[in-house]
Amino acid sequence: MSRKSDLHTLAAVAIAVAACGESGTGPPPPPPPPPATQLVFLTQPDTASEAQFTLAIRVAVQDASGNLVTETARDVTIRLAANPSGATLSGTTTVRATAGIATFSDLGLERAGDGFIFQVLSPGLPPVTSIPFSIRLTFASAATGWAHSCGVTVAGFAYCWGANGDAQLGDSTFVNRLVVTPVRGRLQFAQLSGGIDHTCGITLAGAAYCWGNGSQGKIGDGSTFGSPVRVRVLGGVSFTQISAGSAHSCGVTTTHAAYCWGTNSFFELGTGSGTPGTMAPVPVAGSHQFIHISAGDHHTCAITVDHEAYCWGDNVYGQLGDSTQQPRDVPTPVAGAVSFAEIATALSYTCGISVDHKLYCWGLGPANSGAFSLVPAEVPGGHVYVSVSTGYRHACAVSTDSLAYCWGENANGGVGDSSNAPVATPKLVVGGLHFLQVSVGNGHTCGVTTDHAPYCWGRNLFGSLGDGTPTDRYAPVRAIQ
């Protein structure tokens, strides 16, 4: 080989070595990926029918070309940029993006409204807003007290409105509310019950909570102080149903046992003891297996798994239905051979729905109905019913075709017939509404329609109708969310 060829070979080798880098370890590394420049909503919030979104909100971290930036860990935060009803955003509001996507899976807003807007932020990137969206509350049931009202949504969240002088609304204040207001905390309830000045509820997991006036131990937390927020009822018992009365409360457990707590001045706890009361649940005497219970002013009634009705407590008006006017300190069978599916107690009377959908009442009341009986007497009218609710002045029932009928004292329009004249027998509530259930308070009534909307009518001095005013209504009005 010539010297010239050797030089050419050496030059080629030098060029190859230089191309591989001085270290000789291989080709140079690829250029870094484009940096993140933007956040993009992959899932826009839509109108939510509950206070909690059913679809997770997903946000992408992208470069300028719209590609996901997956290599760098990044926190993304979501907040409300527009908040028309002053709602609180609950859930996990800052999450770490995974593979370039941040997923917010447990967000919730406790107030309804139109025109909410989300904004997402991440360090070094411009904030981005969502499209406007709305929140609607869909109710499953209503529960009224003396001058306040409550409801549970389909998702199990609790709301109350009306009188709040004893903190019975559970929103951590003592301020009356004229519109639907969330109970503080994000517990999910299966059922609520309103007393004169306290409220109790059962969570989806069966835990019992109460709030409001705690005199005589009726909120069951071991004290008589009361609470402006929910407190757990002592005992660790799992309940399926609860009832808040005047100065006592009761519940039925998952094993069909009945427990009561609060005052026992009239034997309304049913313990067989004359003790003044208890600040925590105590078992009702006997070995009865109950499925439903109702705590009234000074008496209590319950239904067994065999659909037998028992009552105990004060009986001066014949409200125990045992054909006497003698008080009872233990569960005593209601006279007659009626099989009951539901029972409801009030100050001076009791009503029940039989398994064949007939309506019976006994005792003295409701007011102006002219009814008085020491044993169950069928209420005239010829309707067939699925549920009944008794109040201090009037009562209401829902028929098998979802119509609401009310009767009794009507000075404030609680009967809902567009008048304030007393009504002796069940009369159709005006408005053409169809109800899942109704609940009667002191001169007012609230119910949930078959399309899950809350409506109220009657006495409204403290805002117990939730329509934004203190004005009595003689026909149903929709509670403002």
Q: Which of 105, 120, 135 delimits the end of a domain? A: 135
Whole-angstrom distance, CA of residue 451 vs CA of residue 48 = 15
- pLDDT given for residue 216 in this prediction: 96
- Sequence-distant (6+) residues with CB within 8 A of 143 are 149, 150, 151, 152, 191, 192, 193, 194, 199, 439, 446
* Residues comprising the chain, all counted: 481
What is the tally of structural domains in the chain? 2
Tens-level pLDDT at each residue, the chain (481 residues): 444 444 344 444 444 444 444 444 667 777 777 899 999 999 998 877 777 777 899 999 999 999 999 987 899 999 999 999 888 898 899 999 999 999 999 888 888 889 999 999 999 999 999 999 998 899 999 999 999 999 999 989 999 999 999 999 999 999 999 999 999 987 999 999 999 999 999 999 999 999 999 999 999 999 999 999 999 999 999 999 999 999 999 999 999 999 999 999 999 999 998 888 999 999 999 999 999 999 999 999 999 999 999 999 999 999 999 999 999 999 999 999 999 999 999 999 999 999 999 999 999 988 666 679 999 999 999 899 999 999 989 999 999 999 999 999 999 999 999 999 999 999 999 999 999 999 999 999 999 999 999 999 999 999 999 999 999 999 999 998 7
- Sequence-distant (6+) residues with CB within 8 A of 150 are 142, 143, 144, 158, 159, 160, 161, 169, 183, 192, 194, 199
In degrees, rounded to 5, the angle at the alpha carbon of residue 460 between the alpha carbons of residues 454 and 466 is 30
With respect to residue 321, please indicate whether it lies within any of the assigned structural domains: yes
- CA distances to 250, 265, 367, 369, 395 from 424, rounded to whole Å, are 31, 32, 9, 4, 11
Secondary structure of residue 175 in the 3-state scheme: coil
- pLDDT given for residue 87 in this prediction: 87
H-state helical runs in 311-362: none
Whole-angstrom distance, CA of residue 203 vs CA of residue 214 = 20
CATH number at residue 43: 2.60.40.10
Backbone conformation region of residue 61, classed left if phi is above 0, alpha if psi is from -120 to 50, else beta: beta
Whole-angstrom distance, CA of residue 227 vs CA of residue 350 = 30
Residues 437 and 336 in one domain: yes
Residues 143 and 60 in one domain: no
Which letter does DSSP use for residue 255 in this model? T
Helices (H) and strands (E) in the chain, counts: 1, 38
Residues 131 and 169 in one domain: no
Residues 101 and 160 in one domain: no
Q: What b/e readout covers 108-134, taking b as 16+ CB neighbours within 10 angstroms?
A: bbbbbbeebbbebebeebeebebebbe
Whole-angstrom distance, CA of residue 385 vs CA of residue 396 = 10
Cross-strand bridge partners of residue 80 = 118
CATH number at residue 173: 2.130.10.30
Whole-model pTM: value is 0.87
- Do 441 and 408 touch, CB atoms closer than 8 A? no
150 lies in which domain range?
139-478
Whole-angstrom distance, CA of residue 264 vs CA of residue 146 = 20
Whole-angstrom distance, CA of residue 105 vs CA of residue 201 = 27
Half-sphere exposure of 64 (CA within 13 A, CB side): 3
- Do 149 and 206 touch, CB atoms closer than 8 A? no
CA-CA-CA-CA torsion for 420, 424, 426, 427, nearest 10 degrees? Answer: -40
- CA distances to 25, 124, 229, 267, 427 from 450, rounded to whole Å, are 75, 50, 30, 38, 20
In this structure, which amino acid lies at residue 131? I
Residues 99 and 146 in one domain: no
Q: Which of 135, 160, 188 delimits the end of a domain? A: 135
Residues 89 and 150 in one domain: no
- pLDDT given for residue 369 in this prediction: 66
Residues 169 and 95 in one domain: no
Residues 187 and 312 in one domain: yes
Whole-angstrom distance, CA of residue 116 vs CA of residue 84 = 6
Residues 230 and 129 in one domain: no
Q: Locate 199 and state its tokens.
A: 């409220």
- Do 182 and 174 touch, CB atoms closer than 8 A? no
Residues 126 and 154 in one domain: no
Half-sphere exposure of 358 (CA within 13 A, CB side): 11
Secondary structure of residue 448 in the 3-state scheme: strand
Residues 122 and 147 in one domain: no
